[in-house]
Structure formats: C-alpha cells, structure tokens
Structure 1
C-alpha cells in the first residue's frame, strides 16, 4: 500500500481548532478511539428534523387515516437497521465507505458508482435540507418585514452552506464532540414546538373520503417509498464508525446507529402527521413552513428556525464530510478540505435552483422518491456484501489499485456488483409511482409503488447468485490421473 495512505494521523485529544486533514487513509489500531454508544447522538442530531415534520404532513395529504400513517412510519424506519449493519464495515476496514465498496464493484467499477450514485445522493440531501432551512428562514424574515422573495432565501442558503462546509472541514473530531450537545438542544426545541402544535391537532381526524382497495395501497406504498429513502440513503455510515476500535462489538454499532436515526425519525414524522390534521388545504398550499410558524408564539418562532438551521448544518455537515472523501476514492487528486468546499458549492447551486422552481413539499416528495432508484440498490448490495463476507474487510487490500490486486476482478470491474446495481435500479423504476414518472408495472397495478422492496430484493438476489457463480468459475479444476488397467 502507498505510504501516503498511512502518513496522516489524528490524535483523539486534538483540540477542536484543528481541521481534520485525514481523508480516506487507513486508521491504524493505535489511532482508534471511542465507543459505539457515541454513534447514537451522531445520528440522532440529523434526525430531529423539520424534514421529518414535512414528510409526516405529506403522508396525511396522500389520504391515509392516522393509524395507517403511523404504521407506515414505523415500518419504513425499521430500515435504519441496514444503516447500522453497513456501519460495522468501517471499524473492520479502517477506511471510508466509498473505499470499502471497491470490494463490491471493483477498483474501476467503484469509481463509476461513487462518482454517479454517491454524488447524486449527496447533492439531493444537501439541497433538500438547505431548502428547508431557506424556506423557514425566509418566512421568518418576511414576518419581520424583509419580503424580498429571492434575496432572503439566497442569503440564508449561502450563510448556512458556508457554516456547513466548516463543520465538514473540522470533520470527525468536531462531529463526535459537538453532536451530543446539538442533539440535546434540538430535542428540547422540537419538543417545545410539539407542545404548541398539539392543541391544534384534530385527534378525530378522518379523510373526507377514506381510501380503500388500490387507491389505499397506492397511498401506503408511495408513503413508504418517500420515508424509506431517508435511511436507505445513509450508506455513508461506515465513515462515522471507522475510528472505533476493531474490537468494538458489531451488535453495539448496529444498535447505536439504527436507534439514533430510528427513534427521532418515528417520533417527529408522527408529529408532522398530527400537524397536518390541524391545517386546512388552503394553508398547506401556501407552504408548511408558514403554517408551522403560525401555530407558534412569537418568541418560539425564531428559536424554531434556529433549530431548523442547526439541524440542517448537522445533517449536511456529515453529508459534506462524507462526500469530500468520495472525490479521493475515485482518484481525483484533491485533498479532503478543498473537496468539501467543492461539494458545498454544488449543493448550494442545486438548492438555489430548487428554491426558484418548486415548493418545499413538492421538492421533498419528488426527490426522495427518485432517490430510491439509487439509494435502494446501493444500500441493498452493501448490506448483502457485509453479510456474505461476514464483515471481513482488509483495509490494506482495498488500496491495491493495480492489476492483480484482490479487488481488480475483471479489468477493474466486478461484474456481479455492477450488474446487481443496474438491474436493481431498472427493476425499481418499473414499479415507481411519482409525479414526474410512473413505471409501467406500477401503472398496470393501479399506481402501487413497489420500488423499495423490488430494489432491495432484486439487487440482493442478483448479487448473491452471480457472486456464487463467479466464485465457482474461479475454483481450480481438480484433475484426476487415470490409472492404466
């Protein structure tokens, strides 16, 4: 392995004023630190989110009854277990997830997957969260008298993006130390908001025309797809766990990661659903951000917007941190810090574009559904590979990028991995039902959206079967000498 991958070191006792200079380099056992339980707050801070409130409200708009909405929320959030399962590969390999997936796609194939899939996922989530902060901030500015519909949101986006990039620059050390405090502050703010929302909830809410049959299943499956895209997109979880000692129990990593994302996700998405029962259709058309602030006392509105912005920075800081290492993993000659700046610039541009062309609710529903075509197959194949290998990843082998290396496969491409990812995405697209595109098989079944289960099932099945076929083909033939009679 090249010396450069071992050169940079991070001392756990470094002050927070030191940016993290490490990129995808291997983390030696002597540099490992921390406990699995620290991952809980790392994932809880981003999950205490206005995005969850927005998604919860959108589920009620689809026409489901409250108990059906709650069932969908709980079921979709169980997918956080996959995030935890993937996370255990970080301590095993001692490097980032975008390097570990070389074992799945091959050295060259991984560059294509990370460049396209990884960057798309990062850009979408950066934009969605910055968009939420921008809309909320602009609404608060409008109430204060600053009504410019363009300048306000743009300024907020740029400021929030700049702070987000700073979080990514200071990296893992800052995230692990600060996010527990951030999670606590956000929880208090969002619980206060929940307290003032509850009096407006219509506890006897029922849709004007309760859905039955195919329309009901269409709403349930579309809602599930929107919610599932959240946990399925976090295949970067190894990046946050990679500093843990190699001896850390896998079950502890899975539990801390999954529960950190799952519990706040279930609670605040449910609060969003309850919120929608007290808002009429006309108010919802104006934007959920307006309706939310209208329910809160004057003193809490600014505090809530500050919480939204803090949450946005915490989630996007982690996303930018991960994406900055993706550049390095695909061979771009750039250090992690300038890479983080580039990622922030791309996300800012997409946010401003969406801000000018859509509402928050429309952007969330559309982008999260389309995200399934990428996040579903990549998460499924990563989790399947962790199970197939029993989480045995050799970090040194992952950096052997020349022909003859363990993960060179066929000309740098692992055909089972590439084929599984493509077939998973294509199959899912046939069952997708969104406002932009409806797959032919979804339309034939009455607009039922099975994109998530199809993506997970097809990707995992193809990968397992093709991997076993390829392994069988590589086994040396045993020649038995014939003994003359």
Structure 2
C-alpha cells in the first residue's frame, strides 16, 4: 500500500504499481451498499406478496450485480478507470459526454448523501446544519484526496462496523415484522412488481460506471471471473440484505408513506434511535467515499488538465455547497434527487455497448458504438415513465403497463444487439479489446 495521496489519475496502472487481492473487490462493494438508498426501497416493495418480494430482491440484485461484476472485471486487464475504458470504445470526443454525465451524477449523489448523513448526525449531536455538513464532507475529502487505497481501507472498516450494526437492526426488524405479518395486506399487482423490479435493478446497476475504478490496481493476471463474482456477490448480498431489512421495517410500521428514519424509530423504539442514526450516517459516508473518488477520476476523463487530487478537493467543495443548499430547502433536495434519477437513464445503453465491445470480442469503431447507444436510447423511449422525476412524459408502452418503466432493460438489450449487428455489417475482425 502506498503512503501519501495517490498521484495517479486516469493513466494506465503499470505492473510495478499493481497490488491487492480480489477479495478487496467484494469488501468494497459490500460496504458501499450498506446504505440508506437500499434501505428506503422497502417502501417501494411494501404491499406485494412476500414470495414476490423475496424473488424480486434476490433475483434482480443478482442480475444487477452481474452487470457490476462484468464492469469491475475490466479493471485489471486495462489498468484503467471505467471512463477511460469507455473512451477506447466511444472515442475521445463522444466519451466526454459520458464522463460529464458521470461527473454530474457522482457530485449530485455525493451532495444528496451528505444531506441525509448530516440530518442523521444532527439527531445525535447538537450543532448547526452547516457545521454537521462540514464534518461529513471533511471526512470524505480526506479519503477522496488520498485516493484508491484510502477508499479501500475505509470500506474495509465500514464493512465491519456497518455489518455489525445492521445485524442488530435485522434482529429488531424481523422480530417486529413477524408480529405484524397477520395484519399485512398483500396485493399481487404486476404493475407494482414491475416498478419495484426497475427500482431495485437501477440502484445497484447504477454503480457500473464506477466499477473498474476500484479494480484497476489488481495484478493484470488476476482472474476476471473471480473479480466479477466477488463484485456481484458483494454488491448483491449487501443490497438484498438491506432491502429485506427495509421491507421488514415497513411491514412492521404498516405505513409506506413514512420516511425511512421515522418508520425505523417507530418500529425499533426511541432507545434504538441513536444507533439507527449512526448507521445511516456511516452508510452515507460509505457510499460517498466512492462518489467523491470516482468524481475526481471522471473530471480527468473530461479534461486531462485536471489533477486528480485537486479535482477531489473541488468536488468536495462543490458537494458541500450543494448539500448546504439542500439542507436549507427540502424542495431543492427532492428536485435534485429527481434530476439525478433522470440522469441515470444514460447508463444502461452505455453499459450495453461496453459489454458487447469487451466481452463479445469485437473491434467495432467509435461510430458503431455511438450509433448503437443512440438506437438503444431511442428504442427505450416508449418504455419510459419520467413523471416520478418531475418530467411529464409517459411512453405508450409504460402507460399500457400502468406506469411501469422497463426502459433500462430495453436500452441495454437493444444497444448490445445493435453493436454486434453493426460490427458484423462493417466487417470488423473478431478479437475484441481483450
């Protein structure tokens, strides 16, 4: 492990700099998904029959985890962060759009998580909001500036601390939910199930543009299969576990309209409230360690003139400003969350092209990649429902499905198919980036 801040940015990691074990990938994705975002999905799943809930949580997280694993497995071979690998496929100019989207997404989620973590902190400590947000951001700024190894070290610590706290919360939640089960009103609604599937999938899958940022330092000969499995199991296991706890909390509370903090305190009791707030606070930090580091790497993918250390410091400062604004105006935070969720639509067709280019062993050019991306996005438009994010648009297919948004799956599949077809039409030889 290096001493001092990481100097490398998006440059290729040389053999002499490689270090680490595949298990570190499991730990990182496990800890970073012990968060409030997974926990809050319990309100979305509430109301479905329990077998449906179990099937959705387990099956969908495995599918989303497989995407995360496939992206993470690219790291050791290329020795590059995810946005730099993307540049090899989409070309330098087009990739700047994806890097910008990733920069906006990471800085946005950093600020939203800071708001949530700070509000939890203020339930424990008596201090002004701006001071609590400053403490929250300062911790993450140190981790982000020190870089890759500091992020892995922080997540190792969080995997133990948060893991222990959620074990205790699991016991309390399951016990309370068991007592409430006789009164649970289940409705087998395919429309609600489709919405739940999209919500559960989108959370874990949205980590894909971060994935190789945290595996690129592993030795080049590291088994890609092991990395993919470790990332998939780490992310899927944590997400499924926390979503099950969140669902149990809402089953026990019997009211999905409650916010997550209120529902938890109502169920486990006031005596547990400090422990719950600490878990929420630390969960926000665990996710933000990745948000800030990947934000700094994305900044370099936009322009190599940005040094990673300074980009991390600037990201922390911007994130702090946005979090203070969000803390002052709750409506701003709600609007901003909607904007960020809307922004995530770029990920799935991008991931489809990335997977096809790398794993189907094709050598299509940037033109084929861009066309495939556009086709994937266009084909998914009728399946979109943007009203939850403040945009009054419901595609005809989504409307026929009662508002269920399946566009993520459509854009991913169409982008893969289009890329493979275009690659064959232009006559590129197989061989791939691998």
Structure 1 Cα separation of the partners of residues 202 and 375 of structure 2 = 18
In the alignment, the residues of structure 2 paired with residue 239 and residue 178 of structure 1 have an alpha-carbon distance, to the nearest angstrom, of 15
Paired with 2:428 and 2:49, the residues of 1 have a C-alpha distance of 51
Structure 2 counterpart of 1:388:
360
| 1-structure distance, mates of 2:219, 2:84 | 19
Partner of 1:266: 240
Contact 2:24 2:152 (C-alpha < 8 Å) held by counterparts: yes
Distance change >3 Å, CA 218–CA 358, structure 1 → 2: farther
Query: Hey, what does 2:59 align to over in structure 1?
Result: 75
Using a 3 Å threshold, how does the CA distance of structure 1 residues 219 and 347 change in structure 2: closer, same or farther? farther
Deviates more, 1:258-267 or 1:230-239: 230-239
Pairwise CA distance, 1:454:
0.7
Contact persistence 2:115–2:326 (CA under 8 A): yes
Q: CA deviation at 1:19?
A: 1.4
Q: Shift of the alpha carbon at 1:160?
A: 1.2
Distance 1:261 1:106, change over 3 A: same
Name the CA shift for 1:126/1:47 in 2 (closer, same or farther; >3 Å).
Answer: same
Instruction: Evaluate the alpha carbon distance shift between residue 368 and residue 428 of structure 1 in structure 2; reply closer, same or farther with a 3 A threshold.
Output: farther
Counterpart in the other structure of 1:225: 198
- 1:204-243 aligned at under 5 Å gives the runs 204-207=182-185, 210-211=187-188, 216-234=189-207, 235-243=209-217
Q: Which has the higher helix share?
A: 2
Q: Report what 1:481 is aligned to.
A: none
- Say which one has the larger Rg: 1
Q: Scaled by the length of structure 2, what TM-score is found?
A: 0.88
- Residue 187 of structure 1: how far off its partner (Å): 0.5
Does structure 1 residue 337 correspond to structure 2 residue 293?
A: no
Residue 33 of structure 1: aligned partner: 19
CA, structure 1 residues 364+207, in 2 after alignment: closer, same or farther (shift >3 Å)? Answer: farther
Preserved CA contact (<8 Å) 1:91 1:243: yes
Structure 2: segments with no counterpart, 5+ residues: 430-434
Instruction: Give the secondary structure class of the aligned counterpart of 1:47.
Output: coil
| CA distance, structure 1, for counterparts of residue 183 and residue 102 of structure 2 | 40
Q: Structure 1 residues 368, 36: CA separation in 2 closer, same or farther (over 3 Å shift)? A: same
Q: Is contact 2:35-2:287 (8 Å) kept?
A: no
SS in 2 for 1:446: coil
Q: 1-side partners of 2:332 and 2:163: how far apart?
A: 26
| Deviation, structure 1 residue 57 | 2.5
1:359-374 alignment, distance < 5 Å:
366=338, 369-374=341-346
Unpaired segments ≥5 residues, structure 1: 1-11, 393-406, 474-485
Q: Matched residues in 2 for 1:157 and 1:44: separation? A: 25
The 1:64/1:131 distance shift into structure 2, 3 A limit, reads farther
Between stretches 342-351 and 363-372, larger displacement belongs to 363-372
For residues 4-403 of structure 1, the aligned pairs below 5 Å read: 12=1, 14-15=2-3, 18-60=4-46, 63-78=47-62, 79-115=64-100, 117-140=101-124, 151-152=128-129, 154-201=130-177, 202-207=180-185, 210-211=187-188, 216-234=189-207, 235-281=209-255, 285=257, 287-296=259-268, 298=270, 300-355=272-327, 356-358=329-331, 366=338, 369-389=341-361
Cα shift at 1:49: 1.6
Partner in structure 2 of residue 419 of structure 1: 371
Q: Cα RMSD (Å) of the superposition?
A: 2.7
Distance 1:427 1:286, change over 3 A: same
TM-score between both structures, scaled by the size of structure 1: 0.79
Aligned CA distance change for structure 1 residues 164 and 429 (closer, same or farther; 3 Å): farther
In structure 2, the CA distance between the partners of 1:359 and 1:350, relative to structure 1 (3 Å rule), is closer
Tell me how far apart the structure 2 counterparts of residues 364 and 276 of structure 1 sit (CA, whole Å): 25
Deviation at 1:354, TM superposition (A): 4.6
Query: Which among 368, 381, 392 is matched to residue 429 of structure 1?
Result: 381
Q: CA deviation at 1:242?
A: 0.5
| TM superposition shift of 1:155 | 3.6
- CA shift in 2, pair 1:140/1:364, >3 Å: farther
Q: Given the superposition, is the C-alpha separation of residues 451 and 350 from structure 1 closer, same or farther in structure 2, using an over 3 Å criterion?
A: farther
Give 1:368 deviation, angstroms. 7.0
Contact preservation (8 Å) 1:239, 1:322: yes
Question: Which of residues 466, 470, 475 in structure 1 aligns to 2:426?
Answer: 470
In structure 2, do the counterparts of structure 1 residues 162 and 236 end up closer, same or farther at CA, with 3 Å as the change threshold?
Answer: same
Q: Call closer, same or farther: CA 1:64–1:128 in 2, change over 3 Å.
A: farther
